[in-house]
């Protein structure tokens, strides 16, 4: 779980496929976690998300950054060459039964076609209890 929203820490860094930019979440300057990209060798920093976001993931196949806000997954088109351009974020998926886990809770497949996320398992209905007596007896 990221630090409190009052914190100005950085969360969930993800290196671009060409290693020229790093995406991360930070509440610095906004008081709310947003997704940012920053040059690895430089000072330029640009905001990707518009209404909050966590856990950025690069989807090199489709030229986008994915991130989540709650159980909604957003995608923002991103072009790195010749100069960086960031598109408007759009909701691309609603993760039903999403489990907000510490660390990274979703990712995209290498071919960019599938999204993986931690999902709550629905418990099967149980109608019996097995009681084992004397389980430690020889």
Under the banding of pLDDT at 50, 70 and 90, the label for residue 44 is very high
Beta bridge partners of 50: none
Q: How far apart are CA 107 and CA 57, in angstroms?
A: 7
Q: How far apart are CA 18 and CA 80, in angstroms?
A: 9
Neighbours of 57 (CB within 10 A): 20
Integer CA distances (angstroms), 122 to 14, 95, 97, in order: 31, 15, 9
Total-model pTM: 0.78
Lowest mean pLDDT among 12-26, 35-49, 58-72, 109-123: 109-123
User: In sequence order, which residues have a C-beta less than 8 Å from that of residue 42 and are 6 or more positions away?
Assistant: none
Taking residues 82-98, report their average pLDDT. Answer: 90
Taking residues 97-126, report their average pLDDT. Answer: 79
Tokens of 135: 């389980």
**pLDDT confidence of residue 126:** 65
């Amino acid at each position: 779980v990221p630090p409190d929203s009052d914190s100005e820490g950085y969360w969930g860094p993800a290196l671009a496929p060409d290693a020229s930019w790093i995406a991360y979440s930070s509440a610095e300057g906004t008081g709310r976690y947003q997704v940012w990209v920053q040059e690895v060798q430089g000072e330029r920093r640009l905001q990707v998300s518009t209404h909050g976001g966590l856990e950025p993931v690069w989807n090199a196949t489709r030229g986008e950054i994915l991130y989540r806000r709650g159980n909604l997954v957003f995608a923002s088109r991103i072009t790195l060459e010749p100069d960086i351009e960031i598109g408007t974020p759009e909701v691309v998926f609603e993760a039903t039964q999403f489990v907000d886990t510490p660390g990274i809770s979703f990712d995209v497949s290498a071919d960019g076609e599938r999204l993986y996320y931690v999902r709550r398992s629905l418990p099967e209905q149980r109608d019996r209890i097995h009681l084992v007596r004397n389980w430690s007896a020889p």
